[in-house]
């Protein structure tokens, strides 16, 4: 849950970003569409036969490592990998053979992304960027945390700075190889405000279809090359994650003498 502008995913040219994050998730509604590759808390999709949504209780904790490199001032690449522990408690009215408590853990999503900026911001125009992302199959035998097949995502974004802060708008689409289907991807509206040389605050709304969350983040730039980030997500639609607190540290490692 990193805001694309507020916590930059695109490093400066010739710099490496290293980000370590820990995140928790809590919800009492069907599982979010893109949590661990499961489309709702449907017993059939977990291997237990009944194709119906139920109001179970889902908890997860996740640690993520992100590496990103600014190839040029218009091109950046990144790699991200996660470890996750998840638990689903069966709804009281679920008559399927799903166990009362289903727990899985291991390596989560492993993905790569390419971003390119094809128009810089100026006095009379906004900045535009595109991105392409690929998520590899992982943990196919663990439907609660696994990704069954390749997932591809492509999106576009716009950034505009104002006297009162910076706005970012982005939207994407996705292609799922498992069933050869396309679908709307993640969309977001994000706001960033610099309060002082060391502190920034961020807010945003992001979601996928009917899973929409409100995000809030505080950033402490305690060093020239390091940022501490405190983030929380609040679900504002029934299918969104109820709470998703996150803490992370991002380091910028200059190379090429920068």
Flag whether 9 is in a domain: no
Flag whether 183 is in a domain: yes
- CB 88: neighbour CB atoms within 10 A? 23
Q: Round to whole Å and give the CA distance between 88 and 68.
A: 33
Describe the chain by its helix, strand, coil percentages, rounded to 5.
0, 60, 40
pLDDT > 90? residue 36 = no
Tens-place pLDDT, residues 204-238:
999 998 889 999 999 999 998 899 999 999 999 88
If you average pLDDT over residues 18-34, what whole number do you get?
A: 62
- Average model confidence (pLDDT) for the chain? 82
What is the predicted pLDDT for the residue at 54?
66
Flag whether 180 is in a domain: yes
When mean pLDDT is compared across 11-15, 143-147, 235-239, the lowest value belongs to 11-15
Flag whether 166 is in a domain: yes
- Look at 139 and 175; give whichever has higher pLDDT: 175
In angstroms, how far is the first alpha carbon of the chain from the final one?
29
If you average pLDDT over residues 120-129, what whole number do you get?
A: 92
Flag whether 194 is in a domain: yes
Flag whether 4 is in a domain: no
Domain that residue 150 falls in: 15-254
Tens-place pLDDT, residues 210-219:
889 999 999 9
Residue 52 is part of a domain; what is its CATH number? 2.40.160.40
What does 106-157 look like in DSSP terms, one character per residue?
A: EEEEEEEEEEEEEE--BTTB-EEEEEEEEE--B-TT-TTT-B-S-EEEEEEE
Tens-place pLDDT, residues 182-196:
999 999 999 999 999
Confidence of residue 2 (pLDDT cuts 50, 70, 90): very low
What is the predicted pLDDT for the residue at 35?
39
Burial of 143 (0-12, 13-18, 19+ CB in 10 A): middle
**Residues 91, 94, 98, 100, CA torsion sign:** positive
What is the predicted pLDDT for the residue at 195?
96
Q: How many structural domains are present in the chain? A: 1
pLDDT > 70? residue 40 = no
Reported as type and span, the H/E element at residue 173 is strand 165-176
Tokens describing residue 103 = 């727990």
Burial of 10 (0-12, 13-18, 19+ CB in 10 A): buried
What is the predicted pLDDT for the residue at 241?
83
Flag whether 3 is in a domain: no
What is the predicted pLDDT for the residue at 6?
41
Beta bridge partners of 112: 79, 134
């Amino acid at each position: 849950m990193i805001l694309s502008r507020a916590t930059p995913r695109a490093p400066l040219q010739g710099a490496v970003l290293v980000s370590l994050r820990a995140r928790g998730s809590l919800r009492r509604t069907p599982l979010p569409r893109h949590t661990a590759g499961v489309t709702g808390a449907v017993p059939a999709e977990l291997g237990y036969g009944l194709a119906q949504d139920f109001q179970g209780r889902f908890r997860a904790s996740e640690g993520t490592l992100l590496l990103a490199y600014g190839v040029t001032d218009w091109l950046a690449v990144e790699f991200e990998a996660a470890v996750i522990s998840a638990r689903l408690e069966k709804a009281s009215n679920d008559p399927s053979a799903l166990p009362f408590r289903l727990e899985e853990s291991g390596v989560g999503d492993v993905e790569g992304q390419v971003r390119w900026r094809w128009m810089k911001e100026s006095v009379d125009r906004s900045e535009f960027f595109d991105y392409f992302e690929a998520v590899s199959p992982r943990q196919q035998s663990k439907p609660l945390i696994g990704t069954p097949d390749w997932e591809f995502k492509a999106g576009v974004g716009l950034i505009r700075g104002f006297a009162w802060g910076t706005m970012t708008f982005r939207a994407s689409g996705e292609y799922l190889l498992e069933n050869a289907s396309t679908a709307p991807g993640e969309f977001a509206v994000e706001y960033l405000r610099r309060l002082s040389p060391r502190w920034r605050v961020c807010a945003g709304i992001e979601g996928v279809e009917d899973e929409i969350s409100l995000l809030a983040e505080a950033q402490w730039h305690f060093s020239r090359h390091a940022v501490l980030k405190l983030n929380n997500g609040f679900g504002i639609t029934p299918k969104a994650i109820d709470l998703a607190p996150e803490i992370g540290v991002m380091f910028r490692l200059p190379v090429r003498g920068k």
